[in-house]
Amino acid sequence: MDNLQEGFTVVSTDESFFFYDSLVRKVWIKKDERPVVRITGSHQESVLFGATSLEGKQLFRQYDWFDENTFLDYLKQIHRKFPKCYLFLDKAKQYYKSKKILKYFADNKDSLIPVYLPTASPEFMVLEEIWNIAKNDLLVLQYYSSFADFKNKISIYFRTKRFNLDMRNYLVRVE
């Protein structure tokens, strides 16, 4: 990463699904009492796309679904925020071989360079840690009265939360 072309940064991106329901973890309760956890039973979800740079800049966007079109929209937003970057991403089927996405990368090959991480390697993705933190904060033992309220809380959270994780700890592994 010390050999970056001038003006380029490193950006990691990923997506995650946030389901409109409560996650239950271990809880403390009084002996002989039964815990009560409100759940929605809903299968509704919100898709989050996230990107973070070596410098700690972040870009999060919420979508109703995950396909090549929503990813292309998000990719253009990444490109606006990080005009020259190496983009580390996984090989999600929605975009890895998408003609639209490959064309966008080809059309912008001098300023947006994709770097695909090995399949099934979440340990290289700083965003995986961010998703874990966010789901713990937003979903564990939480109840939202409506799906709209749920999506709004997610939006506020990602607009205001700074994760301050060092991407180098994820991309560079010394065994």
59 assigned to some structural domain: yes
Predicted confidence at residue 148, as pLDDT, reads 96
Asked if residue 140 is part of any domain, the answer here is: yes
Residue 58 lies in a domain: yes
pLDDT at position 25 = 57
The pLDDT value recorded for residue 175 is 45
Q: 33 in a domain, yes or no?
A: no
| SS3 state of residue 135 | helix
Residue 131 belongs to some domain of the structure = yes
Q: Give the span between the Cα atoms of 69 and 142, in whole angstroms.
A: 31
Dihedral through CA 75, CA 64, CA 164, CA 122, nearest 10?
-80
Residue 30 in any domain: the answer is: no
113 beta partners: 86
pLDDT on residue 23: 60
- Please give the pLDDT value at position 34: 75
CATH number of domain containing 85: 3.30.420.10
In this predicted model, what pLDDT tens digit does every residue of 25-67 receive, in sequence order?
565 677 887 766 666 566 789 999 999 999 999 999 999 999 9
How many domains are contained in the chain?
1
Residues of the chain with pLDDT under 70: 1-5, 21-28, 35-42, 172-175
Domain contains 29: no
| Amino acid in the structure at residue 54 | L
Expressed as residue numbers, the domain containing 130 is 9-24+38-171
Q: What pLDDT sits at residue 174?
A: 45
Q: What is the pLDDT of residue 140?
A: 81
- State how far Cα 76 lies from the chain centre: 16
Residue 32 domain-assigned? no
